[in-house]
Amino acid sequence: MRRAAMSVGAALVIVGLWCLPAAGQGVYGSISGTVSDSSGAVLPGATVKVTNVDTKVTKTLTTNDAGAYSATNLIPGLYNVEASLSGFKTAIADAITLEVNANPKIDVILQVGATSEAVNVIAEAPLLQTQQTNLGQTVTERQIEQLPTGRNLFSLIPLSAGVSQQAACDGCGNNGNLRINGDRPRNQDYILDGTTMTAPVFGGQAFNPAIDSIQEFRIDTNSMSAEYGKAGGGVLIAVTKTGTNAFRGSAYVYNRNDGLNARNYFEDRSRPKNPFDQNEFGGTVGGPIVRNKLFFFTDYQGIRADGSFPVTAVTVPSPAFRSGDLSGLCTAGFDGAGTCLNTSQQIHVPGTTTVVPFNRIPGAQISPIAQKFLPLWPTSQTPGANPGTSELSFANPFDSSTNRINARVDHQLSASDQISGAFHRQWARNISYPGSVIGPEGQQIQRSNDYAFTGGWNRTLTSTLLNNFRLGYMHRIGHRTNPGQSFTSAADFGIQGIPACLSEVPDTADGTKCGTPGVSITGFQGFSTGAVLYEPATTIQIGNTVSTLLGRHNLRIGGEARHYAIDNYQPNGVASSFAFTGSQTGNAFGDFLFGVVNNGSVEVQNAMVSTSAWSYALFVQDDFSLSSKLTLNLGLRWQYDQSFREEHNGLAFFNPFTAEWEQFGVNAPDTTFDPSLKQFAPRVGLAWTPIGSLVLRGGYGIMYPSAVGHGRAGDGQPGPNLLARTNIAAGTNWAVLPAITNPDPSAITAPIPVDGRVSFSSWAPREQTPPSFQLWNVTLEKQLGATTVAQLSYVGSHGSHLPVNYAYNICQQTPQSAAGLGYNATTSPYCPAAAAKVAAAGGNLFDLVVTPGYWGLSSSDYHSLQAKFERRFARGLSVLANFTWSSLKDDSSSDWGGFWSLDVLGQDFYNRAADRSVSAGDIPRRLTIAPIVELPFGKGRRWLNNGVPSQIFGDWRVSAVYTLSSGSPFGITDNSYGYCNAAHTLSNRPMMIGDPLPGGFDQTIAHWFDVTAFDFSGTCPAPGLLAPTGPSDTTKAFGNAPRYFSNIRNPGVNNLDFSIQRDLRLPAGSETRLQLRADFFNLLNHPQFAEPISDPSNAAFGRITRTALNNRTIQLGLHLYF
């Protein structure tokens, strides 16, 4: 803690001396231009006033020697620009719309005359982007309100060109498979009111604000200015609404339910629909506290949902089996002594050859522990497919609630000072039953408890020098309980010797109620342990930007500091887990009744894994207006990212080169990576306007996404002194367990012995090149009339040194060397010292086969042609259409393996080139169209504008979002067919013996590809295909199938979301309106199919058995605006 305090103090000193850190453009826009006379001569010394129409807050500026002015740090909204100079008439440009992160150029021409004479000039915010080269999309307040979003702000992200989703899913904008111009999932930076809201552990957005609180939303996708970093290819900026001089607000309620929704394509029509009911309610209010000075805006959103998941069939024990009568196993009959005539159907006393007569276990011999588990299974009288089983139709119920509050205050302290602050709060709870136990023993609760503060101070130092200081704080708590946590524990079932869980974790009754033990019984539905998680995480951000106008140079200089702190409690099997397979008695349920396990485990963590790190950045950005037609954007960013440090010095790797445990902060540096001082990120752009309605832009830049979180194997792993696992051997009776390793929290830094535990470690080199993305674009934009623009862009990116799950370990044997040494070898020519130590502890060669660490061996290449057509709202119509034609190739598609990105792991550590293919996120073609249409009926409209017809048909509006997209490529993702690599961590792929999509092939969901085109007999075999010859079958070969097939693609998306709305004025003609609304998601009820089964040992291999999107869902709403 002392070290952290020193770091905070050092950062604050730097802030004070340098006016360091922040990104004011993350909240604001700016208006700039030149003041000249009618001959074109620039006018230095002219007074320019930029006034917010709604708040009357005014910035007063003076043009410099080049006649230029720049009003920065402006809240998005409507503005008036007034220019005056002695000897000239005052010119006023009214109602200029300023969008977030925009910099419209408003040039003003003054006419000779008296200053008291005012002249209104036409100076609408230009549609063409003539001063910046960044690509992106601004989503306006109208689009946020009126498009069918599902009331999820982030569902609007895919409306931008260059955005792709690896798989179709409801609310994919809120999902980890989002990619922007070839970057990786969760490599984007999410900014809310100028402060990062990126989750510090795994990336992605930490807050999902209510859409009613958002003024505008911006997606920057390429060639961003130097203010931005910490992202691979996308920066997503949301700005909350501010109060104005007029009070305004809203109240709403929305509902979805199973009666309105269509059935899923694969749902059994003979069953009732799965019950579902969701209600969303809330409201907003904002206005002045002191007119023209102090304003507020606040909102609340609540969501309540309950229902059940689709019905599934689970296998539970029959009444006879529950009583110990397993005689039904013996179909061949018994002899007079009670021995089954078919010996394979005979039950034995565990660990002996003694038969259990007639396969009936006496009640006195049934484990008391098992007897306490038996009542947890629901009963069923429906016979199952196998002896002793019953089939139970089970629908897992759920109940969830979500609450969000946002509050913002803006204060104009003086003509030179403006401060703003916002508070964001969200908390949620979801109750479900992941097993078949409906009751306290099976209940799992997931909670989130998040809050954030953002604050800013704008100070005008001179008419051309402005300062923006920002401070942000975000705290998140992710919390998931074990089933039964807070209600029961292993001791309640009679299992003794399981240590308590961490008492500071909520819902554990001070560590005494850690949940229901996990029980797995082959052939039966077991009891899931789930996975307990308690993870508080904090991000602090400090930033400052100084803006000045020097001649034709618009300069911004500043930087930022971010501090990440993450606590983690996540032992697997903390309540204990046991597996019964039939290895002890001849039948898995017999093993369970006797209480003799095939294997089991317990993990104990007696202290939080507490990690923290700092990240710093400095930048300079110069937007240089060479002429009225040509602007250069030049920038440079420097970024420094520390590796995470664990507070207790409890992180540890086993180093196979030194044959020692590296305990970070004890016998090794206190961080796992050496930070790089070379993260320089240049930005270069050019915007040329040869004629007034045409602009040509080009840009290039480098972005460093940096690593976040402590969860990656190569960036910090709890050592055995912090997180200890005890394996329970076959033949152990769970009533008499061995001593469970219980690490002493006061001895976390004690030396770690070299033994078999090294197999749970990972290792990666300290010196690593940070991952980076090079981004570039060439864009031609043409204005078509007063409200419409068309844009055509070539956009590309190249990712370098991207993290990949890789076993960088000289002891990691090749198949050939493993075959020569043998599975039980105790020596190794590659690391003899490490092998000798492990052998002395009773281990063997394969204990040295460590878990791979993450480091930067991967790369990616993205090329695309992007087209956009945008009509701003005018005369009752707006249209936003984007088309992307692209190609993305890589050799690894995610920082996190297959966890979020559906990525297929590589096949051979020693042949990276063989893993290069189209990316998991390659979506060749994607089209989105989002129109808003006010129907031409009613008062003031073209038709039916009087009388009763006007009252019936007036004020109707329709909107839609249509998506047509190619599917992502298909890959063999299953690992069950073995590992040719001795690492035991990678996938194998089949041999190709034909074309999986031959000419004339009838592709249906029952036969998505020709399964006979693959041969697994020459590769590592799967159970059920061929019998493996050992843990690493070195007689087999690596498959030659690609990691992903470019010609076999998962189903694409063809989806239409539609909304119909009517505004009723209350009373007629007033500003108060009641909106009646119906939203239809997947209006045409097209089944949006998911990927086919990719496991060759599955009988459904090559078939599609589920959908990725729901069938038609209807949402009804009432929304009052006042």
**Cα within 13 Å of Cα(885), Cβ side:** 5
**HSE, side-chain direction, 13 A CA sphere, residue 572:** 7
Given a cut of 80, is residue 341 above it in pLDDT?
A: yes
- Full-model pTM: 0.89
Higher pLDDT, 170 or 449: 449
**What gap in Å lies between CA 404 and CA 399, rounded to an integer?**
17
**pLDDT at site 1019:** 54
Residue type for position 537: A
- Write down the pLDDT at residue 872: 93
pLDDT of residue 174 exceeding 80: no
Query: 846, exposed or middle or buried, with CB in 10 Å at 0-12, 13-18, 19+?
Result: buried
Q: Encode pLDDT of 176-213 as tens digits.
A: 578 999 998 888 999 999 889 988 887 888 888 999 99
Question: Which residue from 505, 392, 512 is spatially nearest to 445, judged by alpha carbons?
Answer: 505
Least confident of 201-205, 501-505, 1032-1036: 1032-1036
**Beta bridge mates, 560:** 543, 617
Distance set, CA 1 to CA 523, 565, 641 (Å): 51, 11, 19
Token match 């590309």: residue? 796
pLDDT at residue 111 in the model: 87
What integer is the mean pLDDT of 530-542? 91
Please spell the DSSP secondary structure of 420-439, one letter per residue. EEEEEEEEEEEEE-SSS--S
Residue of 1023, 995, 1000 whose CA lies nearest to 1011:
995
Confidence of residue 829 (pLDDT cuts 50, 70, 90): low
Single residue among 371, 394, 417 that ends a domain in this structure: 394
Residue 82: inside a domain: yes
Q: If pLDDT is split at 50, 70 and 90, which confidence band does 978 have?
A: very low
- HSE (CB half, 13 Å, CA atoms) of 487? 13
What percentage of the chain carries pLDDT values higher than 70?
A: 86
Token pair, residue 237, equals 């900026």
Residue 10 falls inside a structural domain? no
Q: Does residue 377 sit in helix, strand or coil?
A: coil
Classify residue 1042 as left (phi > 0), alpha (psi -120 to 50) or beta: beta
pLDDT of residue 543: 95
3-state DSSP: the chain helix, strand, coil percent, rounded to 5?
10, 45, 45
| Mean pLDDT, rounded, for 1011-1029 | 56
Neighbours of 1091 (CB within 10 A): 23
Residue 62: its H or E element: strand 58-62
Q: Which pLDDT belongs to residue 786? A: 87
d(CA 29, CA 1069): 33
CA atoms within 13 A on the CB side of 575: 32
Write down how long the chain is: 1122
Distance CA 700, CA 682 (A): 8
Positive or negative torsion for Cα 199, 204, 209, 210: negative
Distance of CA 707 to the CA centre of its chain: 14
Is residue 645 within 8 Å of 610, Cβ to Cβ? no
pLDDT over 70 at 342, yes or no = yes
Quote the tokens at residue 492: 């309640």
- The DSSP call for residue 163 is E
Q: How many CB atoms lie within 10 A of CB 704?
A: 26
In the three-class reduction of DSSP (H, G, I as helix; E, B as strand; rest coil), residue 397 is classed as: strand
Output the CA–CA distances (angstroms, integers) from residue 349 to 5, 321, 362, in the order listed: 62, 16, 11
C-alpha–C-alpha distance, residues 827 and 845, integer Å: 7
SS (H, E, C) 788-820: EEEEEEEEEEEEEEEEEEECCCCCCCCHHHHHH
- pLDDT category, 593, cuts 50, 70, 90? very high
Burial class (CB in 10 A: 0-12, 13-18, 19+), 183: buried
Q: pLDDT, tens digit, for every residue of 855-907?
A: 678 899 999 999 999 999 998 999 999 999 999 999 888 876 544 444 666 77
Number of H helices, E strands in the chain: 8, 52
Alpha carbons within 13 A on the beta-carbon side of 499: 23
Is the model's pLDDT at 760 over the cut of 70? no
Predicted local confidence at residue 755, as pLDDT = 74
Whether the per-residue pLDDT at 976 is higher than 50: the answer is: no
Residue 8, helix vs strand vs coil: helix
Q: What mean pLDDT is reported for the chain?
A: 86
Distance CA 26, CA 196 (A): 9
Please tell me the distance from the alpha carbon of residue 1003 to that of residue 1010, in angstroms, as a whole number. 9
Q: Identify which has the larger pLDDT, 829 or 348.
A: 348
Indicate the pLDDT class of residue 710, thresholds 50, 70 and 90: very low
- Does residue 773 belong to any structural domain of this protein? no
Q: Count Cβ neighbours within 10 Å for each residue of 1068-1078 and write b for 16 or more, e otherwise.
A: eeeeebebebe
Q: What one-character DSSP code corresponds to residue 745? A: G
Judge contact between 799 and 860, C-beta under 8 A.
yes
Res. 985: pLDDT tops 60: no
Half-sphere exposure of 187 toward its Cβ, with a 13 Å CA cutoff? 28
Max avg pLDDT among 77-91, 579-593, 745-759, 991-1005: 579-593
**Separation of alpha carbons 187 and 202, rounded Å:** 9
Strand locations in 433-514, DSSP E? 444-462, 465-480
Task: Kindly report which listed range (93-102, 217-226, 721-730) carries the lowest average pLDDT score.
Answer: 93-102
The amino acid sitting at 686 is L
Which range of residues forms the domain containing residue 72?
A: 16-126
Q: Could you tell me the CATH number of the domain that includes residue 100?
A: 2.60.40.1120
User: What are the structure tokens assigned to 928, written together?
Assistant: 């989105």
Q: Greater confidence, 150 or 950?
A: 150
Q: How many CA atoms lie within 13 A of 335 on its CB side?
A: 8
90 domain-assigned: yes
- The last residue of a domain, from among 126, 144, 166: 126
What is the model's pLDDT at position 527? Answer: 85
Q: How confident is the model at residue 474 (pLDDT cuts 50, 70, 90)?
A: very high
**5 CB-near residues (< 8 Å, 6+ apart):** none
Q: What is the strand order of the sheet 214-222 is part of?
A: 135-139, 214-222, 235-240, 189-192, 195-196
Mean pLDDT for the stretch of residues 250-262: 96
Task: Quickly count: other Cβ atoms within 10 Å of residue 887's Cβ.
Answer: 17
pLDDT at 530 over 80: no
Residue 90 and residue 119 in contact, taking contact as beta carbons nearer than 8 Å: yes
Boundary of a domain, candidates 394, 424, 443:
394
Query: Are the beta carbons of 851 and 760 closer than 8 angstroms?
Result: yes
C-alpha to C-alpha distance for 1043 and 1075, rounded to whole angstroms: 50
The dihedral over CA atoms of 1009, 1012, 1018, 1024, expressed in degrees to the nearest 10, equals: 90
643 pLDDT band, cuts 50/70/90, is confident
> What pLDDT does residue 972 have?
79
Beta bridge mates, 428: 402, 448
Of 63-67, 400-404, 840-844, 1028-1032, where does mean pLDDT reach its minimum?
1028-1032
Residue scoring higher pLDDT (803 or 521): 521
Report the first-to-last Cα separation within the chain, whole angstroms: 50
Residue 114, domain member (yes or no): yes
338 located within any domain: yes
If one compares 132 and 846, the residue with the highest pLDDT of the two is 132
Structural domain count, the chain: 2
Query: What pLDDT is attached to residue 827?
Result: 60
What is the per-residue burial (b if ≥16 Cβ within 10 Å, else e) of 777-816?
A: bbbebebeeebbbebebebbbbbebbbbbbbbbebbbbbe
Q: Is the pLDDT of residue 1028 over 50?
A: no
Tell me: the pLDDT tens digits for 908-959? 666 778 889 999 899 999 999 999 999 998 887 888 778 777 777 888 999 9
- Give a yes or no: residue 386 inside a domain: yes
Q: Which of 60, 58, 61, 63 lies closest to 75, judged by CA? A: 58
Average pLDDT estimate for 297-324:
93
DSSP β-ladder status, 178-180 and 294-308: unpaired
What is the spatial distance between Cα 243 and Cα 235, in angstroms, rounded to a whole number?
Answer: 26
Query: pLDDT-based confidence at 852, cuts 50/70/90?
Result: low
**Residue 75: inside a domain, yes or no?**
yes
CB–CB of 778/793 below 8 Å?
yes
Measured CA to CA, the distance from residue 760 to residue 741 in angstroms comes to 15
DSSP string, 851-917: EEEEEEEEEEEEEEEEEEEEEEEETTEEEEEEEEEEEEEES---TTTTTTT-PPPPS-TT-GGGG-E
Cα–Cα distance between 653 and 759 in angstroms, integer?
10
- Between the alpha carbon of residue 330 and those of residues 318, 346, 359, 793, 933, the distances in Å are 15, 7, 8, 72, 71
Whether residue 308 contacts residue 274, with contact meaning beta carbons closer than 8 Å, is answered with: yes
**The pair of three-digit structure tokens given for residue 338, joined into one six-digit string:** 């009670």
